[in-house]
Structure 1
Amino acid sequence: MEPSVNFPVFQPINVNRKVYSKGFVGDGSTGIQCVRFDPLDRFLAAGCEDGTIRIFSMRNSKLVYMLNQQRRETQGNEEEKVTSTCIRWRPTTSSSKTKNVLISVHADGSVQHWHVTSGKSLHRLYSANNPLYCADFAPDGTKFATAGRDLIVRVYDETTKQAVVEFQPGGSGSPGHSNRIFSVKFYSQDPNILISGGWDNTIQVWDIREGCAVRAIFGPHVCGDTLDIKDGVILAGSWREREQLQNFYLGSGECICTIDWDGGVGIRRSAEPCKLYSAQYSKHDEGEMILAGGSNEARFFDTMNYNKPFAAVMDLPNSVFSTDFSYSGDMAAIGCSDGYARLVTITKTV
């Protein structure tokens, strides 16, 4: 059954922004693991549980391209799980001759480069017995990173597709991860810096020049794409009932604040604590907004007003696995495990 087009958006009366339902994309046939707007906000890509990457037009919300429809089979003739766990569009730069390129990582250990508008697979990397859960492009598009079950954060050269550095697991006092990694993010203001987080309750800060972690931040329990960085501040979302959304200084690792999920006036409190799978800053306005989602709801926060929530999409039938702001900042997508991505528009009311 299709979801309601006009799903409710709860928000206070006196806020500087208003959020309105814009409908949805998807057909409910397979869970959506990741959603991402392209750099020009023409398309929304959805990485799905069945391994496909579905591309929707933002002009009319129609499915316009379908990638990765082929299935690989194991020697036992059983379908291998190829869930598309994370997708990223390659940044648009003057050096990029081929446009409309994205990467997808999968639960079978594969990394795929796609030319979206032709449907062609441009390149494929594969690591056996290493399900991948996250990926990200450097801001200049010259490198990309992947991570997953084997605890190694790999950074690749985008041109050669060869590994530039492999950040190794930690142990015996050495820096690095000791459990599965579910989020990796480059710092937009320094392409040599990236962060990662996962089940080991740490955020590792990596420096490509050093070839190792230069800092570990203890606390966040990361179970999805819940890390972001803006102006030296890390946003971290955790899969837990309390202190699930926090800010840390990139330079020192010190916790700046814990964001009150139910803070503010005019938005009703959650019936159950929301544990997070997704969190990010808005892209267009120095991170003036935060969008985070998890178990059955998503919330918008105003970083210019003490991180108060200014809107919420609640009472969803399934978990929110992914969220994304458009580059213009006037749209957002909420990708859910029921196979639909809810779309909203955001307007300023100054």
Structure 2
Amino acid sequence: MSGDTADTLFDFHETRLRSDSHGDVASEVSSYSRRSSLYSHFSRSKAGPFLEGNLKLFDIIELSSDVMCCRFSSDGTHLAVGMCDGTVKIYNPLTCQQLYMLQDEDTNKSRLPVTQVKFRPYVEGEKTEYSHIIIASYASGHVKFWHYTSGKCLHTVTEGRQTLALTINPEGTHILTAGSDSKIHMYDIETKQKINTMEPSDAHDVMDGHRFRVFALQYNPNHPHVFISGGWDDTIQYWDDRKVHSIKKFIGPHLCGDALDIDPVHNHILTGSWRKSHVLQ
């Protein structure tokens, strides 16, 4: 990551520290977008991008707004891109052609960033429309279930916070959301109903949950009810989604984004931290 990029991202991090209200966040995101646009213009004026090692640049997709998150579908036929203005765009990754654009009254009104996009897992024998569903979370607190080939929003969950993280369990039956508070919500994908809320206890002598914002969630691919989470409180919390409080933790990583993963073969955890040293552990 270049120094200029780091400075731009650090500005965004600082604005988030200063405010939690939706109105203030909107103005801060607008300010961030202006700074980022200047950086983007400066970057394009150079001769890059530059590649090191045995790499090949396949193509470049120019977009009208900054990209906050992106995701390939499981079969690699679609690429979902979540943008700073609240729009989700779907591309053909082979041709880089835009296929669909997802927005509605909620996203057009708030124009707050898409914080995560996930393709709903499709199992043979399910309804065919389930094969083209994306779940997206937004800094406005919305979680939207989109049928992306038709452009229809099938359902909207409204959380009273900024929703910053989203993940789906390995079976594709539940989703987890986290955000600007310390709570992690679990919803049934079929009914869209909240079925559990995981949070720390009131005890002062234990830390069985998060104390600040949560930016990353990751299920263990080999254990259907076990997941981990990380955020600003410098802990990685282990959870069982059938319980309310975390079951264990380790201290160290400072997560400010989707920087958490689990190796399905060796059961190793990978974390990325916002700091100058020990950034990848």
Q: Which amino acid aligns with 2:95?
A: N
Bigger relative contact order, structure 1 or 2 (CA pairs below 8 A, ≥6 apart): 1
Residue of structure 2 equivalent to 1:168: 199
Output one character per residue of 1:87-136: Cα deviation in whole Å (capped at 9) or x when no partner: 111112225422111111111111000011111101100023x0010101
- The alignment covers a number of residue pairs equal to 233
**In the alignment, does 2:192 pair up with 1:156?**
no
Q: Structure 2, unaligned stretches of length 5 or more?
A: 1-40
Deviation sequence 1:170-207 (CA, Å, 0-9, x none): 55124000000000111111110111100000111110
- Aligned structure 1 segments of 4 or more residues deviating by more than 4 angstroms: 1-6
Q: Hey, what does 1:83 align to over in structure 2?
A: 113
Aligned to 1:125: 157
Deviations 1:24-75 (A, max 9, x none): 2232x211000100111011111000000011111200111100153568xx
Matches of 2:171 and 2:201, distance apart in 1: 29
1:144 touches 1:155 (CA, 8 Å); kept in 2? yes
> In structure 2, the residue corresponding to 1:25 is in which secondary structure?
coil
Q: What amino acid maps onto 1:169 in structure 2?
A: P
Matched, 1:204 2:233: no
2:50 maps to which residue?
Answer: 8
> Match of 2:167, SS?
strand
Shift of 1:208: 1.8
Please show how residues 221-260 of structure 1 align to structure 2 within 5 Å. 221-231=254-264, 232-246=267-281
Q: What SS class does the counterpart of residue 238 from structure 1 fall into?
A: coil
Q: Counterparts of 2:125 and 2:218 in 1: how far apart (Å)? A: 22
The residue identity in structure 2 corresponding to 1:200 is D
CA shift for structure 1 position 82: 2.5
Paired with 2:48 and 2:98, the residues of 1 have a C-alpha distance of: 20
Q: What SS class does the counterpart of residue 99 from structure 1 fall into? A: helix
1:108 corresponds to 2:133: no
Please say if 1:184 is aligned against 2:225.
no
Identity of aligned residues (%): 33
- 1:1-350 matches, within 5 Å, as 3=44, 7-11=49-53, 18-27=54-63, 29-71=64-106, 79-94=109-124, 96-97=126-127, 98-128=130-160, 130-169=161-200, 172=204, 173-231=206-264, 232-246=267-281
Point out the structure with the larger helix share.
2
2:199–2:244: 8 Å Cα contact kept in structure 1? no
Shift of 1:20: 1.1
TM-score normalised to structure 1 length = 0.63
The structure where strand makes up a greater share of residues is: 1
Unaligned runs of 5+ in 1: 12-17, 74-78, 247-350
Residue number in structure 2 paired with 1:338: none
